[in-house]
């Protein structure tokens, strides 16, 4: 247990024993990192307190931990963890021992599997596109954090969580390198992926603007459909599919069907992702939107682009710099992707 915590508690017990009036002790005199509420805030763990039962329930995504005040036992999902000291209430401030973070928070936050694991899915391969990279940093926050770093970190987390659910991920980039928009769509066309998800962080001249938005492609007009890159991607896709009739009319029909499938699924999917992720991240839902972004209009498979938050907003920049918030974004996104796979299955 933390020595300053023990000393603080002893001083408090001694002082209370010698006084007739209960003094107001300052929480700041105690070790900040032992205050449960502060720890929860820092790691984005939700907290609920049942004062009657003296039970605190912590939740992170689909996982729960139950804590009993005065007890050193914590239940994480169904696993029993024993702490080095009991959880105590000091002037209504919940205090936890020093091993609480490693034994409880780390287990809660880094539980690898989502409850959705058993959901059947037709999703086998997903292209995850970390926006920008190399000479193109993307948006830059006031503290110097670069969008390309945030995007890649989240993309890697998404890949690792999806791998645990037997969904293969093809990354358009897995290091800090420049990949053109053309190449990103070609990677998708050469693969046998079912879905393309591009990850970005937002920027605005209005620093107060924050929240999450998800884009899908606007419906294409004649010029869009005959864009050079799109025709090239069609050839790429045709080449990698062995069974394809050698008939230009059949080509048009198959690509029309692919387009119809794309527009039919992307629109509601973008709305769903925006709603479910913003709810999970407790941020503002700026909605599902339609745009003519290159990677959206030139991919032949369903494609969305997620703007995870604004690097120009001081609070969101601070959040995006923490690994726990990025992990939470990854969890939220994977959950939406798996749900999409489930809907294709039904
Ligand atoms: Zn971007």
Packed helices 248-281 and 323-345: angle between N→C axes, nearest 10 degrees: 130
- Give alpha helix (H) positions in 29-111: 36-42, 100, 106-109
Question: Residue 333 contacts by C-beta under 8 Å, 6 or more apart in sequence?
Answer: 154, 158, 197, 199, 273, 277, 306
**Strand pairing of 303-310 and 195-202?**
parallel
Supply the pLDDT for residue 32: 53
Supply the pLDDT for residue 18: 36
Count other Cβ atoms within 10 Å, centred on residue 109: 20
Domain limits, the chain = 3-109, 115-345
CATH architecture of 3-109: 2-Layer Sandwich (3.30)
In the reported structure, the alpha carbon of residue 307 is separated from the centroid of ligand 1 by a whole-number distance in angstroms of 7
In the reported structure, the alpha carbon of residue 262 is separated from the centroid of ligand 1 by a whole-number distance in angstroms of 22
Q: Which residues surround ligand 1, an ion (CB under 5 A)?
A: 131, 138, 200
Supply the pLDDT for residue 91: 86
In the reported structure, the alpha carbon of residue 198 is separated from the centroid of ligand 1 by a whole-number distance in angstroms of 9
In the reported structure, the alpha carbon of residue 42 is separated from the centroid of ligand 1 by a whole-number distance in angstroms of 26
Query: Can you tell me the distance from the alpha carbon of 346 to that of 341, in angstroms, rounded to the nearest whole number?
Result: 9
> Comparing C-alpha atoms, which of 71, 64, 2, 66 is closest to residue 31?
2
Backbone torsion region of residue 283, taken as left when φ is above 0, otherwise alpha when ψ lies between -120 and 50, otherwise beta: beta
In the reported structure, the alpha carbon of residue 130 is separated from the centroid of ligand 1 by a whole-number distance in angstroms of 9
In the reported structure, the alpha carbon of residue 343 is separated from the centroid of ligand 1 by a whole-number distance in angstroms of 28
List, run by run, the mean pLDDT of 10-residue segments along the chain (346 residues): 44 37 38 78 85 88 87 87 91 89 80 57 90 97 96 94 89 97 94 94 96 94 89 84 70 82 90 95 96 94 97 96 90 92 72
> Could you identify the residue written with the tokens 């820092």?
42
In the reported structure, the alpha carbon of residue 16 is separated from the centroid of ligand 1 by a whole-number distance in angstroms of 57
Tokens standing for 105? 């928070």
Q: Fold for domain 115-345?
A: Aminopeptidase (3.40.630)
């Amino acid at each position: 247990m933390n020595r300053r915590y023990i000393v603080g508690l002893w001083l408090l017990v001694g002082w209370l024993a010698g006084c007739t009036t209960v003094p107001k002790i300052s929480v700041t005199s105690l070790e900040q990192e032992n205050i449960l509420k502060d720890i929860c805030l820092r790691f984005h763990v939700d907290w609920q307190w049942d004062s009657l039962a003296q039970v605190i329930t912590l939740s992170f995504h689909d996982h729960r931990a139950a804590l009993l005040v005065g007890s050193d036992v914590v239940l994480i999902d169904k696993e029993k963890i024993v702490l080095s000291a009991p959880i105590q209430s000091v002037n209504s401030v919940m205090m936890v021992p020093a091993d609480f973070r490693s034994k409880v928070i780390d287990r809660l936050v880094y539980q690898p599997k989502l409850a959705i694991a058993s959901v059947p899915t037709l999703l086998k391969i997903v292209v995850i596109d970390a926006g920008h990279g190399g000479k193109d940093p993307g948006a830059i926050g006031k503290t110097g954090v670069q969008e390309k770093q945030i995007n890649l970190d989240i993309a890697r987390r998404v890949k690792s969580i999806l791998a645990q659910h037997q969904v293969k991920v093809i990354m358009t980039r897995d290091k800090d390198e420049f990949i053109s928009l053309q190449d990103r769509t070609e990677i998708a066309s050469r693969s046998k992926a079912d879905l393309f998800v591009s990850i970005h962080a937002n920027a605005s001249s209005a620093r107060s603007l924050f929240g999450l938005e998800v884009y899908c492609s606007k419906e294409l007009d004649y010029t869009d459909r005959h864009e050079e890159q799109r025709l090239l991607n069609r050839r790429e896709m045709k080449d990698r599919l062995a069974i394809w009739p050698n008939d230009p009319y059949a080509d048009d029909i198959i690509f029309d069907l692919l387009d119809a499938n794309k527009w039919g699924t992307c629109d509601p999917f973008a709305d769903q992702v925006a709603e479910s992720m913003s709810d999970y991240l407790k941020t503002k839902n700026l909605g599902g939107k339609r745009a003519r972004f290159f990677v959206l209009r030139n991919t032949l498979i369903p494609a969305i682009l997620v703007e995870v938050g604004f690097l120009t907003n001081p609070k969101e920049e601070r959040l995006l710099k923490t690994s726990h918030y990025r992990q939470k974004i990854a969890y939220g996104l994977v959950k939406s992707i798996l749900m999409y796979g489930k809907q294709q299955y039904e």
